Structure 1
C-alpha cells in the first residue's frame, strides 16, 4: 500500500512539473519586434536584405546610444549627415527629445522613429495609402493631428491625419511614424512599404544606421568591456538566468512531500487534553434541549425558586422556601416598594399559557430591578 502511494505521488509530481514547464516555458522575446535580425512577421530582416540588394550600405548599431551621440570624429561614423532608424517593439509616447538627441539632430542628422503613440481616429484599421514610391499598406487607426504650435510636414496620411510626419530641428530633421510595422516582414509583398521606408532613411550621402542595441543585441567589443570592468559577475549571471521555473518546481515538490507525510516540518506535537467540567457540560446540554423544545416556563419555574431563596436571605427569612405571599409582605414592610415587580418575580404570570423567549427576557429584566432595589435598601446586596 505504501509503495502504491509513493508511485501515485511521484506521478502527480511529474504531471505538475510538466504543466508548469508548458505554462512558464520561455516564449519569443517581444524585444525582437522591429529587429533586422528577426525573420518573424513583425521583424525587419526582409527590409534589411532589401536595402542590401539595392546596394545601400545599412549598418547595425549594437552599442549604447551615448556612444553613438559621442562617436569620435576620427571614425567618421556619426559625423553629419547620418541617419539613425529606431523601430520600437511597442507604441511609445514621444514628446520632446533628450538633450543629446536634439543636439545630434540639429547638427544636420536625421532621426527616424517608428512606433509613436498617436490619437485613435475613425479611420479604417486597414488602409492603402498612396505615395510616390507606390501603394503603402497601413494597419492602424492612429493619426497625428498637425497644429500651428507644433508645425510638421505630413509625409504619409489621409483626411484623418498624418501616419508619417516630419519635423525640422535645427539643420536636421525628426521623422515619426504612428506604426511600428511600416516595413515589417509581413508587408514585403506590398509594392510601396519597403521603398517608402528606404526613401525616408536614404538622404544624400547619408550614413544609415539601425539601432539594434534597443533590441538586446551587443557587439563583441561591448561584451569584452563589460567583462573587463567586472560587470558580469556570478550574481549578475544568476540574476539574468531564468531561475523562476526550477524554483517553482522545487516548491511544488516540497508541498507534495509535506502533504504526503500529513504534517509540518519538525517533530509532531501532541495535543493537550482539555479538562471537562461535567456539571457545566450537563447544564449546557440541558439548556440546549430546553431551548429547542421551547420550554421557557420550566426555566422560569426553576430560576424563580432559586431567586426566591436569594430574596429571602436578603430579607432575613432563612434558607427554607416560604409561601411567596409571606415573602411579598416582608418585601413591602422592609423596602416600602410596591409588590408589583416582586410578585412578577416570585409568581410569574404571562398573557399566553406558554412563556416565550421575549417573556423570559422581560422576567429577567424584572429580576434585575428587584435586586437593585434590595441593594439600595438597608439589606445591601443579594449574593450574586
Structure 2
C-alpha cells in the first residue's frame, strides 16, 4: 500500500472513531421532554393538551421566559410540569406574579417519601384519581389539601394575596399514561381553569422557544445551533484532521525510498523463541536430553553407523577405531548426558563446548 493511501485510511479510521465517541459521549436531553405537551410518550402531556382543546378551553403553549408573563393581562394560570422534582417554594419573581391574582400550578414538587402505597386511588369530585407516588406533603393544612390521604397531601394550594400556587408531588397527574383514567384529565383541567382563567402551559422549561426569543438569546443562526450540539465538535475535528492530511501529503524532502523488508528465518526465529522459553523455565535437563540425542545421531552418521541409537560401548569402539583418539573425551560427554539432571548455565555451556571438540576430531 502506498504511503499516501495508508495515511488516508488511517485518517478515515481515526475520524470514524472520533465521530462515534462524540455521539456516544453527547449529553442525552431526552429527559427534558418529560411532561411536555409535545411529547406523545407515556410521560408526556400531548393527550391532555388535546383533551383541553376539545373541551373548548382557552389554552396555549408558553414558549417564553417566566419574566415575559408580566406583559400578559391578569388573571391567568400557568401550568408547569417539571421533568425533575423542584422544591415547592416560589422565588421573588414568581411570588410577585402570583400576588397579582394569577395562579401557578406546579406538577413535580419535591416532598419526602412516606409509607403510603405507590399506587392509590384518590377521591375527587370527578371520580377516583389515580396517583402513583409515595411522596406526600405532611405540612399542608386540611383546608389546603385538594388530594391526599392519612400520609399527607398529594395536591395542595397556598394563598398569596390575590392569587395562589398549587403544588403536586406527582409529575404525572394527567400524563399520557392515564388516558384510560378520564378522572385524572378532568381533575387537572379543573385545577387550571378555575374561574375561567386563560391557561398557559410552560414549554420554555422543556427547551421550546419562540422564534423571537431564540433570536434574542443568540440562537437564531445555524452556527449557534451547531454550537449546542455534537455537530460542532465533529466539524472542528474534521477540519483539524484535513489540515493534518494536507500537511502530510505536501511534506516532501525528496523521493520516497522503499525500505527493504528483512527476510525472516522462521526456523531460527522458532529456535530462539523456544530457547527463551526453556531458559525462563530452567529446563536444562530437557535441553541436555534433546541436544545430546541429536549430537549422538550426528556423530553416528559421521562414523558410518546409521541413525539408529547404539549402545555407548559400540559408539566408543567405533570412535577410537575411526579417529584414533582417546575414548575418555567422548565417554565424558555421553556420561554427562545420561545423568538427566538439571545443570547450571555454565555447566551446560561447558558440555556443549566438549561436543564441539569431539566434532572437530572427526
Q: Which residue of 1 aligns with 2:75?
A: 81
Deviations 1:121-173 (A, max 9, x none): 1112222222111221222111101257xx86111111111111111111211
The question of whether the paired residues in 1 share the 8 Å contact of 2:11 and 2:241 is answered with no
The unaligned stretches of length 5 or more in structure 2 are 254-362
* Cα separation, 2, equivalents of 1:53 and 1:234: 37
Q: Which residue of 2 aligns with 1:243?
A: 231
Which residue of 106, 114, 117 maps to 1:113?
Answer: 106
Shift of 1:174: 0.8
Q: Which residue of 2 aligns with 1:58?
A: 59
Q: Which residue of 2 aligns with 1:129?
A: 122
* Cα separation, 2, equivalents of 1:221 and 1:248: 29
Q: Which residue of 2 aligns with 1:168?
A: 159
* Cα separation, 1, equivalents of 2:68 and 2:9: 59
Matches within 5 A, 1:39-58: 39-58=40-59
Q: Which residue of 2 aligns with 1:90?
A: 84
The unaligned stretches of length 5 or more in structure 1 are 72-78, 268-384
Q: Which residue of 2 aligns with 1:156?
A: 147
Aligned residues: 247
Q: Does 1:36 align with 2:29?
A: no
SS in 2 for 1:166: strand
Shift of 1:200: 0.5
SS in 1 for 2:195: coil
Shift of 1:7: 9.8
Q: Under a length normalisation based on structure 2, what TM-score does the superposition of the two structures give?
A: 0.58
Shift of 1:240: 2.3
In structure 2, the CA distance between the partners of 1:21 and 1:239, relative to structure 1 (3 Å rule), is: closer
In structure 2, the CA distance between the partners of 1:8 and 1:102, relative to structure 1 (3 Å rule), is: closer
* Cα separation, 2, equivalents of 1:251 and 1:138: 53
* Cα separation, 1, equivalents of 2:70 and 2:143: 24
Q: Which has the higher helix share?
A: 2
The question of whether the paired residues in 1 share the 8 Å contact of 2:22 and 2:234 is answered with no
In structure 2, the CA distance between the partners of 1:94 and 1:244, relative to structure 1 (3 Å rule), is: farther
The question of whether the paired residues in 1 share the 8 Å contact of 2:98 and 2:165 is answered with yes
The question of whether the paired residues in 2 share the 8 Å contact of 1:94 and 1:117 is answered with yes
Deviations 1:22-42 (A, max 9, x none): 634675532221111111211
The question of whether the paired residues in 1 share the 8 Å contact of 2:130 and 2:181 is answered with yes
